[in-house]
Amino acid sequence: MLKLYTAANLPEAYIVFHLLGQAGIEARVFNEHALGGLGEIPFTHAYPEVWVMEEADMPRAREVVAGYEKLPDHIDVRCAACRETNPANFQVCWNCGEPI
């Protein structure tokens, strides 16, 4: 198991997680409850992390992240399935995983 990505926030971690899932890559999100503890725990441990289960998937997983980071943002869109607000660069809803 290898760390792929350190996200700025939990929605970002989950969008990467869902994109990896769509690519058939098994991954896990860690530190998902850490943000509430900011100030009580070391700063660098407060960000959610996405880890890839299989080392062989890492090259493709990095391509997924690179593609995600290239997308434009700044415009919020609302998920048709659960009504959660998502940044426009999200291809799938961070909350429910449905395509936006």
Q: Does 80 bind Zn ion (CB under 5 A)?
A: no
CB 57 within 8 A of CB 51: no
Window contacting Zn ion (CB under 5 A); options: 40-48, 55-63, 66-74, 86-94:
86-94
Structure tokens at 32: 């998902």
Instruction: Using the Cα atoms of residue 14, residue 10, residue 75 and residue 81 in order, give the sign of their dihedral.
Output: positive
Q: Does 95 bind Zn ion (CB under 5 A)?
A: yes
Window contacting Zn ion (CB under 5 A); options: 10-18, 19-27, 53-61, 92-100:
92-100
Helix or strand (DSSP H, E) at 85: strand 85-87
Window contacting Zn ion (CB under 5 A); options: 27-35, 44-52, 57-65, 77-85:
77-85
- Pick from 41, 71, 81, 88: which binds Zn ion (CB under 5 A)? 81
CA–CA separation, 11 and 68 (whole Å): 13
Size of the site for Zn ion (CB under 5 A): 8
